[in-house]
Amino acid sequence: MSTHTDSARCFIVPPYLLDHIAKLDDPRLEHASNAAQRALASSLPFRSVRTGEPTPPQQSMREETYARRQQSAAGEPSRFISDAQGTETLPGRLVRSEGGPPTADDSVNEAYDGLGNTYSLFWDAFTRDSIDGKGIPLAATVHYGEAYDNAFWDGTQMVFGDGDGQVFVSFTNSLSVIGHELAHGVTQYTANLVYQGQSGALNESVSDVFGALVEQHSLGQTADQASWLIGEGIFSDEVEGQALRSLKAPGTAYDDDVLGKDPQPADMDGYIETDDDNGGVHLNSGIPNRAFYLTASAIGGNAWEAPGQIWYETLTTEIKANTDFRQFAEATTSVAARLFGEDSREADAVRSAWQTVGVTTPAE
């Protein structure tokens, strides 16, 4: 068991997908099935339904230790990468810190670079100094657990498994995964969206949005050049699929004989009512995800500019912990009008996007 259990964990691989893999009755995939079973068992204490107003983020002893080691100047990240060496004890052995040279371990270097790319997006696009806005050091642990089939944000740091090798490979392979999980930290320090139902789906969607933007910003891609995929690179070559999720076309990220088909809905007509996955937070997030993609596509250019600014302003200044889809749609529309004008292309794009996915209807 991990030595750190004081924060809810936000996982990149949804429980319904791990549950599907865990129940596979195929001797050829026994290793993957066993790995999924372990990942589910490990995450069970952190997947209970959480309702009501969330508590403010607490600084753990581990976080304080990192903060004492190095506090960087504004505009410069302070990164610490540790190695759990196959255990579930966090943070593990420190193997690379800010300014240190690359190591011989690809996972260490990918985590280090990914934390830096995430910091760069939030600083360059929004002048946000780290996830808390106050320069907090960024920490990550690699090689967590035995063939661990997930990556997560635990309230203070990023944690990456190596995957089982049959379905999933190393989770540091995907920059969008790193950006997604660190964005949970930004949400934690701002709106702190309750991880349940529509507010939980918004929590997941915001992480997908900023995960995609981290990747696009790093690659210098415009909205029409980007893949809009989350988790590209974490499936093995045996899987028929591109990624875990698609913001551009929810429900199309994978379609595999073993894993099944991506179940995300693309609009409110497909909204899924369920008690599983904290009320479908990884499922229904496809709806606001597509709204952001449609907004960015209509505006054009770099999605981290006008579209990203609208979503960032909404997250950090306009919404409450229990915000639902309609309230978020109204808030982003209001922010777009305030930033760019009521009749601007940007405001029109936001209004049209939410109408297209069925969250709002055209004004009569």
Catalytic positions:
181, 282
* DSSP string across 173-187: G-HHHHHHHHHHHHH
* Burial environment of residue 20 by CB neighbours within 10 A (0 to 12, 13 to 18, 19 or more): middle
From first CA to last CA, the distance across the chain in angstroms is 56
Best CA proximity match to 151, nearest among 130, 182, 120, 121: 182
Q: Which residue has the tokens 């405001």?
A: 347
Polymer length of the chain: 364
Name the residue among 168, 195, 159 with its Cα closest to residue 86: 159
Rounded distance, CA 11 to CA 29, Å?
Answer: 23
Q: Say if CB 218 and CB 118 are below 8 A apart.
A: no
* Residue among 300, 309, 297, 316 nearest 357 (CA): 297
Q: Which two tokens stand for residue 352?
A: 């049209």
CB 329 within 8 A of CB 355: no
